[in-house]
Structure 1
Amino acid sequence: MRWLCPILLIAVCAAFAASQRLYLKDGNYHVVREYQVLDDRVRYYSAERGDWEEIPLELVDLDRTRKEVARREESLADERQRQAEEAKFDRQRRAEVRKIPDAPGVYFMAGDELITLGKAETLVKDRKRRNILKVITPIPVVTGKSTIELAGEAAARKISAERPEFYILLSEEQDFGIIRLKKGKGIRVVEEVTIMPVTNEYVEEMEHVEIFRQQVGDSLYKIWPQEPLTAGEYAVVEFTQGKANTQVWDFSYQPAAP
C-alpha cells in the first residue's frame, strides 16, 4: 500500500491548492479558491458559488487567514519530508535485501558491506564430558543438566555497532533471536539445558536480548536490538523450543573508540 502514499499526498496538495478559508472578524469564513486584497476590499473566488465576489476589507480577518495558510503549508511541507524519508528508507531496505544470498544463514550490514557470519561449532557438556554437538542434532539424552558451549572466550567476529542489524534467512520455520553468552574459562555458554527424568523433555534457558523483527522476504527477517548492547559476547540463534537443536552465529560487541 506504500505506493498509494504519493498519490494521496498529491490529492491533499491539490485539495489545498483548490480551496482555503477566508476568515471574517465575526468568526465565520468563506471557502475560496483564491483571494486578492484591493485597497478597501477583498476580491475572492467562491468555491461554493463558483464566481468572483467582493467583501469590505474591514470585515476580513486577514491575520488569521494568513496564519492558517502558513500553518497548512508547513504541515504539507512536513508531510512531503516524511514521505521523502520513508521512500528513501524503502529504497535502502530493498537494496540491502537484494544483496542477501539465497543460502540460509545470518548476514550483517556493516555500512554498505554485507558480511556473512560463520556458524559456530557447539559443544555439549554434561556432568562427565564435553562432546561436539552436531548442527541441528539434539543433545544426547542424559537426565540432569547440560550446557551448550562454544570454545574460546571471545568470538572472531567483532562488531562495534551498538544496535547491529542482522538478516537471518531461515532454512525452515523456527524461532530465532539474539542472545547474550556467558563467559567461562576458555568457553562461552550458549544455554543451559535440563533434561527431565522419565519424560526426557528439554527445558532450555538462554539470556535473550529484546529485539525488533521485520519480515522482508520469504523466510527472511531483519532483526536488531531494541536497546543498545553492552560490551560482551553475543550470538544470533535459530532454534525450536524443547528440541535442544540451537544453531549459533556468534559475535563480540565492543564499542568503537571515541
Structure 2
Amino acid sequence: MKHLASILIAMLLFSLLPGFAQGGGDKRLILKDGSYQIVTEYQIAGDRVRYKSAERGGQWEELPKDLVDWPATDKWNKEHAPDAMAAAEAAREQAEQNDAAAIDKEEATERAAEKARMPIVSPGLRLPDESGVWVLDTFHGTPELVRLQQSNGDINKNLGHNVLKATINPMGGSKQLIQIDGERSRFQMHVAQPELYVSLDVNDDSVPDDALKVDTHGASSMPKDKNNYSSPNSHYVIVRVQQHRNLRVVAAMNISMLGKVSHSETIVETTSQILPGGHWMKVVPKEPLNFGEYALMEVLSPQEVNLDVWDFGIDPTAPENKNTLSPILQAK
C-alpha cells in the first residue's frame, strides 16, 4: 500500500511540473534536430520525457529531456491549442467578413458612379455610359434619345468626339467655310428646343480623315488631335447652316462672330449645366429653333473653335429617327 501511495504522489507531482499536458487533442514534442513526435500527452520525469505516441497506438514511450526544443514545443502547442485555434478561426472569419464588406462597399461605390454617369433625363430614360452627343427629342409624345454624329462622319467610324481646332479670324471673309455633305441632316428633331447632352471625359483615339470637308483659306487651323475630349470650360452655340444643293455650309463670318454677338439670325446662344457625376453637360438653346438645318459648334476659347460640328435639323413632320433610345417602363 505504501508503494502504491508513493506512485500516486509521484504522478501528482509530475502533473504540476511545467510542460505536463494531458488530453485535449494531439500535441507535438519538437526535437532540436527539427523532427517532432505527435503525442496525445506527455510527462516530464527527471531527465526523461514520457509520452503517448498518437502514431503508434498510444503506447508510453520515453526520450531524453534535453533532446526536446522546449521553446518551440511550447510555442507550437499554445498556437494549436483548442482555444487558440478557435480564436484563429474567429479572426479568419472576421477578416473574411471585413473583406466581403470592403468588396460590397467598393461595388456599391462603382454602382453609384455608374448611375451618376447615366443620369435620368426623362421618366424611365437614362443617358448611356458612352461618349458623344445625344439629343432628347419627342416623337408622337414619346421622349427619345438620338445620338448625333460629328460632321458627315460615317456612323461606323466616328462615334466619339473629334477636335479640329481653328483660330477665329474676323478678317477672313466669307470664303472660309465649314462644309457638310448633304442638303439635309439625317437627324431631324421634332421639338423646337431640344436638350443636347455632351459627354465630358471621353478619350477617343479613332479620328477619321474623311469626317469633314474644311476650306479655311487662311484661318489658322491645327491638325486633328487625338485623345481630345470636351472640356467643362467649352462653350457651345447652335449655328443655322446655309443650305445648298447636296451641301450645308457654315460661313467663316459666322465663326468670327461666335462668342461676340448677343443676337444673330444665324447664331443661337445656349445655356449649359454640368450634370451630377460630371460626365455630361446639358446644353439647351436659349430660344426656340425654327424649321431648318443647324450645327452644334464648340467654342474652345475666345480665339479657337472646333471645326468638327454636330449637325441636326428641326422638322416636326419628319419620320422617327433610327436607333433611338426609348424609356424603359418599370414593372408595377
TM-score normalised by the chain length of structure 2? 0.37
Greater radius of gyration (CA):
2
Higher strand proportion (structure 1 or 2): 1
Higher-RCO chain (CA-CA 8 Å, sequence separation at least 6): 2
